[in-house]
Amino acid sequence: MTHMTHEFDRAADISEALADPALVPELPAADGDPAVAGVAWLRATVARFSSGAAHRRRRALVEAELARLEPAMLRRAVAAGPEGEVRLRVVRTLAEALGMPEPGAVAEAVAVVAGAYFGGADAAADEAVARLVAQLAPGPAEEPALEAAANRIGLLVQACAATAALVEAADAGGDVPLARVLREVPPVAAMRRVAARATRVAGREIAEGDVVLLDLATANRAHPVPLTFGAPPRICPGRAHALAMADGLLRRPRTAFARLHDQVAPLLLPNAWDHASAALLSARGFPAIGTTSLGVAAAAGLPDGTAATAEDTLALARRLGQGSFLFTVDVEGGFSDDPEEVAELAARLYDAGAAGINLEDGRADGTLAPVELHAAKIAAVKAAAPALFVNARTDTYWLGCREEETGTRLAVYEQAGADGAFVPGLSDPDGIAALTAGLTVPLNILYTPTGPGITELAAWGVRRISLGSLLYRSALAAAAAGASAVRDGLPTEPAALSYAEVQALGAPAGTPRRPG
């Protein structure tokens, strides 16, 4: 019987095919005995070419390995490691981080295996697999240990090829954001599936045994959101690790403020409204301070979110720039719908000493700015002030938009050059997990007293937690409560700072502190 080949290059059709359990990975044709430790055995035992219960079990093995590795640690390790071929550096770094003996020898063997992984017979690759198995599963040849060893090898093999391809594409593109490189030149350009039973995809009838070819590269060029894989849809578990190592190998400069997003614990960012509040928070040990647009606007007697406080915001940044702390500025939507005007303001804020800005797509009338316009603002800012950390905020959750709208917008903002993503109003673990799995930049969440705590948010992958206007609103409430207590003859709170303590918070004279 002749089987047909069906080709799909639209993102929606590919997603439908990948979510169809009737379409399973096609095991590449190869010589060799799948019962003997060699390339054929490896392909028959790894998650990459499995489906059903076997895939779930094997994927869990890979996920458990990756869960032990902090992406930021991999970035530092691969950047500091010895020079050499990109593929070998990637595998050596991973092998060492996973505690494998002789990581250099492991890298050499994996590079040989990678050349035959997707098809064809190769005696040298078979021998390399056997050596790796003997090294990673040295005990009795029992199935669980062999399966675990196979999937550790598979993890290294895929990192060898995919991460190297990402680095090469990014290096050729200059300073293009990795998120855009990943979309335009995906490490996996195409995938093949075979129909285990008759099914229907995108209106096409697919018979049992038919081959389905999925052109991811073409689909990605027309679709901003990374495609998910399998049924149910899922993201590659090593995506964040690959991006971190690619970033380390490219050695793109990272500021001190950007590095605060790489720590084990999320960056807790308190938001100030004047110099004294920022200086006090810095003195209490917070490594960076944000500003709150509500506090700045209210202090000036102006409404928030109406593009009315550009000069007040710039004046505050100049005062904060006299201090010794890192700070990022909330600029609403940039105070303009002209990307060049937004970029000019951002450059002035950077010159004043700001390490970053928070740029939102929500508007005062309760709508969202067109996604293309907001992306153009981000791109213009990064062109005018490349070292300025742009935290791209989307108000989709506050405005009741669908979850898909959030992912789409953030993907576009990443590709425009955003350094972080901020989704106020998002608090459920599934929604957060979905975003952290697909994002290439750190996710920022707004803390609320009734929402999840810092420990929970950290466990869900959040890298930055903002307090927003909470402190300013609390200060106003405390001021009103104190005045009312004096008027009503009630005791006042004894926690007020002394005159001398507040006087000491004054900004010293000098030049703006350069964000580093």
Q: Are 443 and 436 in contact (CB under 8 A)?
A: yes
Give, for all 516 residues of the chain, the pLDDT tens digit. Answer: 678 999 999 988 998 998 898 998 877 665 666 667 899 899 999 998 888 899 899 999 999 999 888 888 898 899 988 888 999 999 999 999 999 999 999 999 999 999 888 876 789 999 999 999 999 888 777 788 999 999 999 999 988 888 888 888 888 777 788 888 877 777 778 888 999 999 999 999 999 999 999 998 888 777 766 666 655 556 677 877 888 888 889 888 889 999 999 887 999 999 999 999 999 999 999 999 999 999 999 999 999 999 999 999 999 999 999 988 999 999 999 999 999 999 999 999 999 999 999 999 999 999 999 999 999 999 999 999 999 999 999 999 999 887 778 988 999 999 999 999 999 999 999 899 888 877 889 999 999 999 999 999 998 889 999 999 999 999 999 999 999 999 999 988 777 888 888 888 885 655 556 566
What's the pLDDT score for residue 188? 76
Residue 147 token pair = 């399966």
Query: What is the rounded CA–CA span in Å between residue 481 and residue 335?
Result: 34
Rounded distance, CA 124 to CA 38, Å? 10
- The pLDDT of residue 72 is 81
Secondary structure of residue 433 in the 3-state scheme: helix
Q: Given the structure tokens 């301070």, which residue do they identify?
A: 289
DSSP calls for 167-196: HHHHHHTTT--HHHHHHHS-SS-EEEEEES
Cβ neighbours for 228, distance < 8 A, ≥ 6 positions apart:
15, 18, 19, 234, 235, 438
Structure tokens at 296: 């700045």
Q: Are 282 and 254 in contact (CB under 8 A)?
A: no
| Cut 0.75: pTM above it | yes
How many residues comprise the chain? 516
How far apart, in whole angstroms, are the C-alpha atoms of residue 63 and residue 52? 16
Looking up tokens 């002789």 gives 102
Q: Residue 298 corresponds to which tokens in the numbers above?
A: 């209210």
SS3 content of the chain, % helix, strand, coil (to 5): 50, 10, 40
CA 218 to CA 333: how far, in whole Å?
33
> What does the pLDDT read at residue 29?
62
